[in-house]
Structure 1
Amino acid sequence: MSIAATEPWPPAPGGRNGAAAPWRFRRPSALPGFGVTFGFTVTYLSLIVLIPLTALVVRASGLGLDGIWRVATMPRVLAALQTSFGISLVAAAVNAGFGLLVAWVLTRYEFPGRRLLDAVVDLPFALPTAVAGIALAAIYAPNGWIGGLLAPFGIKIAYTPLGIFIALVFIGLPFVVRTVQPVLADLDREIEEASATLGATRRQTIVRVVLPTLAPAVLTGFALAFGRAVGEYGSVIFIAGNLPFTSEIAPLLIVIQLEEFNYAGATAIASIMLLISFLSLLAINLLQAWSRRRFGHV
């Protein structure tokens, strides 16, 4: 019998002597067609993602670094960027916590109307953003159902940064729930039972067993909710009030620049948002990769 017939295929990652195997561009696989599928993937992503973003950066580069810096340091632009990214970060964090809670209830408990509640989670996906914005503005306005109850106490939600926060929580919650829910459903309950058998309390089991396993999924949902919130426009402008230096978001500022035919300024603001979003998502992905390495054995 030949040597090739006695060795496992594909080769073990560690090699014959346990040494680290050299990095390969293409790992051995029984499935054919790597060249075709890889070429299609690169072409598709280039046409849909890379080329449009490159064109955006090239158009903005016409201002030069000094021009882009001048746009980035304008007080109104700084205020809009702070509003967009700051509130988006807080809304995504809130969605990460409450989305985990909603996914837990929908996965671990049986109760009347569970399927209906599970379907309601997807409503922000199906609703046009303008419809969501009008509905939220009508509810939270001073004469709305909820806004009218809070108005006597001096609490104003619509046409304030708090209204932006409500809108971003509304559109971002499904991203966390739908990301965490399948992972939670596949979580082996025998691990929790083993933890209880070894003497762990419910709190210790959740903190040391369940949450570390769900951490990568929660971070993924957080990143998706944050990315959606940063670029959200339709559901925000109806409830934000759009007051410069108070409740004006960066996407609205881009639209204003386009309406004034200031295409260079619009692309400069868009490029700044692109850079900040890329760095933020890169940091989240690095944290997610660390959590997978740290808690992958759980």
Structure 2
Amino acid sequence: MRNNKAVLPGFGLSLGYTILYLSIIVFIPLSAVFFKSIGIGWDGFIEIIQDTRILKALQLSFTTALVAALINVFLGLLLAWCLVRYHFPGKRIVDALIDLPFALPTAVAGIALTSLYAPTGWIGQFLEPHGFKVAYTSVGITLALIFIGIPFVVRTVQPILSDLETELEEASSALGANRWQTIRYVIFPIILPSLMTGFGLAFARGVGEYGSVIFIAGNQPYKTEIAPLLIISRLEEFDYAGATTIAVIMLLLSFALLLLINLLQSWATRRTGRNAT
């Protein structure tokens, strides 16, 4: 007879507490946003989503977040690999600096990046004469999102690389595989699920980022105005229905993209499990 007794007691109580917690912290606030946006009616909703200014802001927010997350996947993987596989002077300092965007107030990060890349900044003054402008452009927004998003990729991939046995690479080399074949067929399938997790976290953070972006963006309507700033502007104008409607659109788009990423991650995990067996 199979014993179905749980290792830890209190599953019903734990499940009830979890549902209650999620309801108070997540479900109820999100439901309030949906109900507030419904108050403007279907015609009002259509009018808002057809607003060119809103569409441009949404496009800018999601595009820069996507580009920054993709760049962070590459840079974060390189950083994690160096921290795991190599020993060099100042390694602990570099490891600590990666977590700095977590602790640093986002407004401080935005001010620092703006002071560096503004036309009169330490770096911007050398780029401006060559016609390359960073601050107050989408490039500056992407740079800010790279700064605040890279720890998500590094800290997600780093534990997987630490657990990756070097014997696998040695066995692959002994069987005649070159470096690129070892990376493609041995290392990459193992770290792919964690890479996608880091990508999803960095992308989600970038879409809703506000503090570090508004200073370097310039906030020009139709050009460098992000969707979170537009929501704040509508709230300052007491247009609560318009602000919540923009928030709902961002929520639905983010949820759809994150759901797709989770499905791809699940597929990659199952595939890796089959390959491992």
TM-score by length of 1: 0.90
What residue ranges of structure 2 are gaps of 5+ in the alignment? none
In 2: Cα distance, 1:132 partner to 1:80 partner: 22
Q: Which residue of 2 aligns with 1:156?
A: 133
- Which protein shows a greater Rg? 1
Q: Return the letter of the residue paired with 1:177.
A: V
SS in 2 for 1:158: coil
Report the Cα offset of residue 228 of structure 1: 0.3
Q: 2:112 aligns with which of 113, 125, 135?
A: 135
In 2: Cα distance, 1:33 partner to 1:78 partner: 48
Q: CA RMSD in A?
A: 1.0
Q: Determine if the alignment matches structure 1 residue 93 to structure 2 residue 105.
A: no
Instruction: Number of aligned residue pairs: give it.
Output: 275
SS in 2 for 1:185: helix
Q: Return the letter of the residue paired with 1:157.
A: V
Provide Cα deviations, 1:125-160, integer angstroms capped at 9, x if missing partner: 110000000000000001111101111101110011
Stretches (4+) displaced over 3 A: none
SS in 2 for 1:278: helix
Q: Which residue of 2 aligns with 1:256?
A: 233
Q: Return the letter of the residue paired with 1:115.
A: R
In 2: Cα distance, 1:49 partner to 1:122 partner: 26
In 1: Cα distance, 2:80 partner to 2:189 partner: 16
Correspondences of 1:21-40 after superposition (within 5 Å): 29-40=6-17
Q: Return the letter of the residue paired with 1:228.
A: R
Q: Which residue of 1 aligns with 2:163?
A: 186
TM-score by length of 2: 0.97
Q: Determine if the alignment matches structure 1 residue 288 to structure 2 residue 269.
A: no
What residue ranges of structure 1 are gaps of 5+ in the alignment? 11-27
Q: Which residue of 1 aligns with 2:202?
A: 225
In 2: Cα distance, 1:36 partner to 1:228 partner: 32
What fraction of aligned residue pairs are identical, expressed as a percent? 60
Q: 1:175 aligns with which of 152, 165, 168?
A: 152
Q: Which residue of 1 aligns with 2:89?
A: 112
In 2: Cα distance, 1:155 partner to 1:201 partner: 40
Q: Which residue of 2 aligns with 1:239?
A: 216
Q: Return the letter of the residue paired with 1:169.
A: I
Q: 1:126 aligns with which of 89, 100, 103?
A: 103
Report the Cα offset of residue 36 of structure 1: 1.0
